[in-house]
Structure 1
Amino acid sequence: MSTPKVWLSGLSVIKLDVTKQSEISDVFAQAKNAFNGTDVVFNNAGTVSVREIEGTPDNVACGMFEILFWRAANVTRDSVKYFRENSPAGGNFLQMSSNFGLERTPGAGIKALEGLTHALSKEIHPKWNIKTTFIELGPFRTGMVDGDDPESFVLPPHPARTDNSLPTLQFRKWMKNATIDGDTKKATQAFYKLTALSEPPFRLPIHKDAIHYTRRKAQCLIADTDRYEF
């Protein structure tokens, strides 16, 4: 990998392919050499595909899981290592997810990162001073997939699931007509503010939709617990 390109004062831009562990390790090493450590890691690489779990081909599911879980896990492990080696030890780890991780969303069921992040937050020794925040993002137009054109990542429905009354078909219709109104500049400002907090939240929903889903999930958990308490 080429050496960092330095623009302005203290800014280095380094190309990273998260599917290659050697590049992940190399970027962390270069950051340590250039800046004597790593203060913040924003783990944001991702991909998306919409189809029922039953009808998602193995190659698509495995490809998504490779990036959304395994590669995110690799970045996570290296983050903890380099935060711990800082002098003094410490750092802020921002793990990106979406409100799909909160809501039981038909057609977007390939999710697994929340459990890993929650366990990580419990495994960190207090003396390492590592702060972890799991970000639940609502609809923002980021250009992740072909300019965020829903047709580019929505797969054809499973043959047994063509009834328009099914939740997955309703979700597909929503994807085509969804209002993606999140302000990326405001979100970036919120991420930056997180890094200055001495006690950042473990979970942070950003966007009115994500906040709504968070409150609804909390209400459902309490309601189920109260109703079925034995």
Structure 2
Amino acid sequence: MDKVWLITGCSTGFGRELAKLVLKQGYKAVVTSRNTDDVIDIVAPYPGTAIALPLDVTKQSDINAVVTQALQKFNRIDVLVNNAGIGYFGAIEESEEEEVRRMFEINFWGLAHVTKAILPVMRKQRSGHIINISSVGGLVAFPALGFYNATKFAVTAYSEALAKETAHLGIKITTVAPSGFRTDWAGRSAKDSALTIDDYAPTAGANKNTVRGYSGSQKGDPVRAAKAIVNVVESENPPLLLLLGSAALRNAKNKLAALQRDFDDWENVTKGADYPEGE
């Protein structure tokens, strides 16, 4: 139980429940949020094993300060959970570049910059586990979420490459891909595009309304999700990709089946793009 966790985005949702759980189970934790007032209640009962630090993942100075203070407090970092993220609803054509770029800065570049700051620590230790919170939307794309999907597809690909680069150093990587959970993601944590184009009402508009409509009543339980993540970290052979939630499993399996059909149906065309044998 001497592992030190560093968790981003702990004010709500997965980050909050995970921070509470790891501290309750006896781990040490660096609990971060843009405003530490939002997480003081989490760390207050654990003065010896927890520290709350301000972190905006889009600011390199914040990232550097968190890593420095974490090491000063605990001397090591064993588990990094990149949880900070936001959502955005809008058809591709409706979406505002400024908002999309902001989402990429948080969901992808923020995650990448925090990871890059932690990797030297884990390389020196020759051990560590990085948990990147992606989404089933990092495997399957949905109307009204195209640019959000793009950030999460990027996280999934980045994590897979990183896992292949770091395995020999004792550093494990797991991408977590949840479906709908009762967090604030589909509530105030996600913006809508300012522009609405009527032609997209049956696709992007309908899906946005569906997702917004079930905010707060999703099947996914953040407390159970936190327990699943702890189980992964405690496992000897953690998965590269962990789906969370029955909807995530269903959508991922449907995507696999659709890909397999296309691969099989177009196999001859695919192979025909190579030079003939012997050339």
- Do both share a fold (TM > 0.5)? yes
Q: Deviations over 1:152-211 (max 9, x none)?
A: 62335542524x4x3212212312322423111101101111111121101111011111
Tell me what 2:122 maps to: 83
The reply on whether 1:168 has 2:204 as its aligned counterpart is yes
Tell me what 2:245 maps to: 207
Tell me what 2:225 maps to: 187
CA distance in 2, matches of 1:176, 1:29: 39
Map 1:119-138 onto structure 2 (within 5 A).
Answer: 119-126=161-168, 128-138=169-179
- Please give the secondary structure, in 2, of the residue aligned with 1:106: coil
Asked if 2 retains the 8 angstrom alpha-carbon contact of 1:131 and 1:199, the reply is no
TM-score (norm 1): 0.87
- Please give the secondary structure, in 2, of the residue aligned with 1:14: strand
User: Alignment partner for residue 36 of structure 1, among 53, 75, 93?
Assistant: 75
Letter in 2 for 1:167: T
Deviation at 1:44, TM superposition (A): 0.5
Map 1:29-68 onto structure 2 (within 5 A).
Answer: 29-68=68-107
- Point out where structure 1 has 5 or more consecutive residues left out of the alignment: none
User: Alignment partner for residue 130 of structure 2, among 93, 97, 120?
Assistant: 93
Letter in 2 for 1:84: R
Q: Relative CO higher for 1 or 2, CA cutoff 8 Å, sep ≥ 6?
A: 1
User: Alignment partner for residue 217 of structure 1, among 255, 260, 273?
Assistant: 255
* 1:50–1:25 CA distance, 2 compared to 1 (3 A): same
TM-score (norm 2): 0.72
Letter in 1 for 2:181: F
User: Alignment partner for residue 197 of structure 2, among 159, 162, 167?
Assistant: 159
Tell me what 2:23 maps to: none
Asked if 1 retains the 8 angstrom alpha-carbon contact of 2:95 and 2:195, the reply is no
The reply on whether 1:142 has 2:142 as its aligned counterpart is no
CA distance in 2, matches of 1:67, 1:229: 39
Moved more, 113-122 or 200-209: 113-122
- Alignment size in residue pairs: 219
Tell me what 1:19 maps to: 58
Tell me what 2:141 maps to: 104
Aligned-residue CA RMSD (Å): 2.1
CA distance in 2, matches of 1:140, 1:160: 29
Asked if 1 retains the 8 angstrom alpha-carbon contact of 2:220 and 2:245, the reply is yes
Asked if 2 retains the 8 angstrom alpha-carbon contact of 1:79 and 1:93, the reply is no
Deviation at 1:125, TM superposition (A): 4.8
Letter in 2 for 1:35: F
Moved more, 152-161 or 64-73: 152-161
